[in-house]
């Protein structure tokens, strides 16, 4: 979708919204049109780059994919990057590259999308769930020691909503037991932990460029890690081949290749990378707008005791992929699902992040989980909803969301 001048201004591309007069927080008339939860913001620059790719000699994995890898790694100050077709592919590739397989265990969180845990199952290893912290909803490092066994090979924290997990505490446990740390950073571009961007270290970190993410290539992902690991991961990610098509078919290339292992088909295309290159240029302005929206929400909801607002600890910089609001049920006559329906009736789109892993039939039945096995994840799930948070939001959009939430609280207060 091509960005309108208004949406470009909202993203901070042409003008910065911070100079605009804040919209009133008092109740306003209801919206006449539906506000989508998380539409992408794609401008003429991305369109032109994709067209340039389509007119070139290469549309699958080629020079623009390599350029995107280089520029993404430079942005994060990462030791290297491998572009893939999803964050799921990045996580799976990392696990396989590290040799994790049947009989092994990987400790992770129940408060995540299923892909984070599905990839562990795909390797034949067992996912071991650990409950989350009450404030950030990230994996709780204090519970890790009791989850580690002789079969544990890796810890897989998820930076929930874009708030970095407590990496120092997680790494301390990993170092004590000789475990790998694989970070699911699907939400965490460009988050910082104690001054360093997530993905800047040598361990594997997986990013998502899905349509709703802070940077999008439609579908896509990136794996950052030390170069030696990425060299092996590149082979794993493309059929186990010793060289990719670009190296075989470009001028001076050779047709010959060897299959070194039974790999996967996880490569990113140059069409996707074309989007990513231009989105990366705009990421800083996108994030400025996200933070402006978050600040407006904080001001608009500060006096409502029916709401628990998301946190940002002082030693991190939140990526603000999600604005995960929590209801306080004791103050309201309706539950979370009815609250969402009431917002929809006021033309405000929302979502829920996430249904905890142990509640899904496959994992519940396979491992015999009960809802209360992870009480923090379970109790918070029932009162979570995510509000619109994206750089296309105008000041009027934000005021509409605030007014709608306040109205639902007012009408349904106990």
Q: If the chain, 414 residues long, is cut into consecutive pieces of 10 residues, what is the mean pLDDT of each piece?
A: 39 35 50 96 98 96 97 98 98 98 98 98 98 98 98 99 98 98 99 98 98 98 98 96 62 76 97 98 98 98 98 98 98 98 98 98 98 98 98 98 98 97
Distance (Å, rounded) from C-alpha 159 to C-alpha 266?
Answer: 23
* Alpha-helical runs (H) found in 209-258: 227-236, 245-249
Domains of the chain in sequence order? 5-27+283-412 (3.90.1150.10), 44-278 (3.40.640.10)
Distance (Å, rounded) from C-alpha 189 to C-alpha 35?
Answer: 24
Q: What is the pLDDT of residue 249?
A: 53
Q: What is the pLDDT of residue 12?
A: 38
Identify the H or E element spanning 308: strand 307-308
Identify the H or E element spanning 274: helix 270-301
Beta strand pairing status for 192-193 and 196-197?
Answer: antiparallel
- Residue 259: is it exposed, middle or buried by C-beta count within 10 angstroms (0-12/13-18/19+)? exposed
Torsion 14-16-19-23 (CA) sign: positive
Q: What is the pLDDT of residue 296?
A: 98
Residue 143's contacts (CB-CB under 8 Å, 6 or more residues apart) are: 130, 131
Which structure tokens are listed for 127? 């996912």
Distance (Å, rounded) from C-alpha 106 to C-alpha 88?
Answer: 15
Measured in Å, how far apart are the chain's first and last C-alpha atoms? 43
Given the residues 64, 153, 213, 282, the one annotated as active site: 213
Torsion 115-291-135-323 (CA) sign: negative
Confirm if 158 and 168 have CB atoms less than 8 A apart: no
Q: What is the pLDDT of residue 30?
A: 79
> Is 213 a known active-site residue?
yes
Q: Whole-prediction pTM value?
A: 0.91
Which structure tokens are listed for 26? 């008092």
Beta strand pairing status for 105-108 and 183-184?
Answer: unpaired
- Angle at CA of residue 156, ends 309 and 221, nearest 5°: 85
Distance (Å, rounded) from C-alpha 405 to C-alpha 330?
Answer: 17
Residue 55's contacts (CB-CB under 8 Å, 6 or more residues apart) are: none
Distance (Å, rounded) from C-alpha 213 to C-alpha 216?
Answer: 6
Distance (Å, rounded) from C-alpha 181 to C-alpha 161?
Answer: 19
């Amino acid at each position: 979708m091509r960005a309108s001048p208004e949406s470009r201004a909202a993203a901070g591309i042409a003008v910065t919204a911070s100079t605009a007069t804040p919209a009133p927080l008092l109740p306003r008339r209801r919206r006449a049109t539906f506000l989508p939860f998380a539409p992408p913001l794609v401008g003429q620059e991305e369109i032109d780059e994709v067209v340039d790719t389509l007119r070139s000699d290469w549309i699958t994995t080629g020079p623009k994919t390599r350029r995107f890898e280089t520029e993404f790694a430079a942005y994060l100050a990462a030791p290297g990057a491998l572009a893939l077709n999803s964050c799921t592919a990045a996580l799976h590739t990392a696990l396989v590259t590290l040799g994790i397989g049947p009989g092994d265990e990987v400790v992770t969180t129940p408060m995540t999308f299923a892909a984070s845990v599905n990839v562990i199952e795909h390797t034949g290893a067992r996912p071991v769930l650990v409950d989350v912290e009450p404030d950030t909803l990230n994996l709780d490092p204090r519970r890790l020691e009791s989850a580690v066994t002789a079969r544990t090979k890796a810890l897989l924290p998820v930076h929930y909503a874009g708030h970095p997990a407590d990496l120092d505490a997680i790494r301390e446990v990993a170092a004590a037991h000789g475990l790998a740390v694989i970070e699911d950073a699907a939400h965490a571009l460009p988050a910082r932990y104690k001054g360093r961007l997530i993905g800047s270290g040598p361990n594997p970190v997986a990013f998502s460029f899905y349509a709703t993410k802070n940077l999008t290539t439609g579908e896509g992902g990136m794996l950052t890690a030390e170069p030696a690991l990425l060299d092996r991961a590149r082979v794993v990610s493309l059929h186990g081949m010793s060289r990719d098509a670009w190296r075989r078919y470009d001028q001076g290339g050779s047709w010959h290749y060897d299959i070194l292992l039974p790999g996967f088909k996880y490569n990113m295309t140059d069409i996707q990378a074309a989007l990513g290159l231009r989105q990366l240029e705009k990421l800083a302005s996108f994030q400025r707008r996200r933070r402006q929206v978050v600040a407006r929400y904080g001001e608009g909801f500060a006096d409502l005791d029916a709401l628990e607002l998301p946190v940002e600890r002082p030693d991190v910089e939140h990526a603000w992929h999600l604005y995960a609001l929590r209801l306080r049920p004791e103050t309201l006559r309706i539950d979370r699902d009815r609250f969402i329906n009431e917002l929809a009736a006021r033309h405000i789109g929302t979502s829920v992040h996430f249904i905890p892993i142990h509640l899904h039939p496959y994992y519940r039945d396979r491992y015999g989980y009960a809802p209360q096995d992870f009480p923090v994840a379970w109790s918070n799930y029932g009162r979570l909803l995510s509000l619109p948070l994206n750089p296309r939001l105008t000041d009027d959009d934000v005021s509409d969301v605030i007014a709608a939430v306040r109205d639902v609280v007012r009408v349904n207060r106990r």
